[in-house]
Amino acid sequence: MGEPLSRSGAVGVGIVGLGVISRQYLDTLTGHPGVRVAAVTDLDRSRAEAVAAGLPGARVAHDLDALVSDDEVEVVLDLTTPGVHAHVAKACVAAGVDRYGEKPLAADLAASREVMATAAAAGVRVGCAPDSVLGTGVQTARAAVADGLIGTPTSAVATWVSPGHEAWHPHPDFYYALGGGPLLDMGPYYLTSLVQILGPVAWVQGAASRSRDVRTVGTGPRAGEQVPVEVATHVTGVLAHTSGALSTVTMSFDAVASRSRPIEVHGTAGSLAVPDPNHFDGDVELLRAGSSAWEVLPPSAGFAGAGRGVGLLEMVGAVGLGAAPASPRAGGDVGLHAMEVMAGLLASADDGRRVGLTTAPAVPPLVPLTPAASWRRTGEVAR
């Protein structure tokens, strides 16, 4: 990235896609001295105009091409649906603009590989959600494992179940199309957490099913409308980490609820209960071998009080941890690995074979415990 283009010295951000999730990102980015929302665009121009009206100095770009060619846009925040992620990334690469986007990296493994290969060739950096793994929940759990509190890690269990997003989302179609399903929608939170805590995955084996071929929209103007289901809606499998630990994962749109901990990590000297990786904080609990009482560990690592968008701030060097990194902590290399894990589970479910993985990203550095007042109020953008 070059020198700041905006008069404030803050990094200029262009946002494409202003749907439900955009509000959470804006809550983090708006007012932070290290970034400035320079331009926004959305297929619904009236929605883009309404968002821009609340952001001092932000313009409404006519379309994606206009956004990435805007002189004040240095990084694009991609909040589009999964099927559009590769298209947005290619536009960013062509314009030489860094891209940070929602998960998954792209709708499938081939497109995800292409995104990373073309970005690397062009010298464009790619960041990818989830950045919730940079909060105190997952980072404290990671620190506990690194500090030997559970001995040698041996296994983990990750569970997320739901009856489906059509109950609350007014336009749930993309959850049941290519790039959707419980694995690609919620899996990145859990898989990225497991990689953070136990390291990359060497091979996977999976099984999958689909309970029905249509879903009924439960709310909004389309309530009662049926949408087709084109993906597996219950996926389970085993991940073999290069560290030797084995993880078991279950992601489902076919269950009412679960009382399981979101993630449990087990070792020779204890077990950890890890909070919901879709959130940035929450209690990390430890049960030591020989004890009958779980203890809550105080936060020891991660961005305190963080929200969606902190990964973008870290990527541009706006959280006070030093220069903008060549490989962001919420980076595309980890996003590609998570996609290969998910693609491997689905491929294994199709033919019953064990699938070896070709990617093995370096685990990003642990985030030191960083109080909210520190990363939110830093005025420096390290270049």
Q: Assign 178 a pLDDT band (cuts: 50, 70, 90).
A: confident
Residue appearing with tokens 């959130």: 279
In this prediction, residues 109-137 reach a mean pLDDT of 98
In this prediction, residues 33-59 reach a mean pLDDT of 97
In this prediction, residues 90-106 reach a mean pLDDT of 97
* CA 27/CA 2 separation, integer angstroms: 26
Q: Assign 126 a pLDDT band (cuts: 50, 70, 90).
A: very high
pLDDT per residue over 303-327, tens digit each? 999 999 999 999 999 999 988 998 9
Are the C-beta atoms of 104 and 129 separated by less than 8 Å? no
Residue 382 has pLDDT above 70, yes or no: no
What's residue 49's pLDDT? Answer: 98
What's residue 2's pLDDT? Answer: 35
In this prediction, residues 31-36 reach a mean pLDDT of 96
In this prediction, residues 179-195 reach a mean pLDDT of 96
What's residue 379's pLDDT? Answer: 62
Q: Assign 198 a pLDDT band (cuts: 50, 70, 90).
A: very high
- Per cent of the chain over pLDDT 90 is 94
Residue 203, strand partner residues: 240, 356
DSSP string, 137-153: HHHHHHHHHHTTTTSSE
Residue ranges of the chain that CATH labels 3.30.360.10: 132-301+334-356
Is the four-CA dihedral 146, 149, 152, 155 of positive or negative sign?
negative
What's residue 117's pLDDT? Answer: 98
pTM above 0.75, yes or no: yes
In this prediction, residues 340-367 reach a mean pLDDT of 98
What's the chain's average pLDDT? 95
pLDDT per residue over 249-273, tens digit each? 999 999 999 999 999 999 999 999 9
Q: Assign 3 a pLDDT band (cuts: 50, 70, 90).
A: very low
Residue 4 has pLDDT above 70, yes or no: no
Residue 235 has pLDDT above 90, yes or no: yes
Q: Assign 378 a pLDDT band (cuts: 50, 70, 90).
A: confident
What number of CA atoms fall less than 13 Å from residue 383's CA on the CB side?
Answer: 10
What's residue 318's pLDDT? Answer: 95
Q: Kindly report the CATH number that applies to the domain delimited by 11-131+308-330+369-377.
A: 3.40.50.720
* CA 249/CA 263 separation, integer angstroms: 9
Residue 149 has pLDDT above 60, yes or no: yes
Are the C-beta atoms of 266 and 98 separated by less than 8 Å? no
Which of these, 349, 347, 332, 331, lies nearest to 112 by C-alpha position? Answer: 332
Are the C-beta atoms of 95 and 105 separated by less than 8 Å? no
Superfamily of chain region 132-301+334-356: Dihydrodipicolinate Reductase; domain 2 (3.30.360.10)
Three-class SS state of 291: coil
What's residue 323's pLDDT? Answer: 87
Residue 59 has pLDDT above 90, yes or no: yes
In this prediction, residues 58-71 reach a mean pLDDT of 97
Residue ranges of the chain that CATH labels 3.40.50.720: 11-131+308-330+369-377
Are the C-beta atoms of 150 and 242 separated by less than 8 Å? no
Residue 6 has pLDDT above 50, yes or no: no
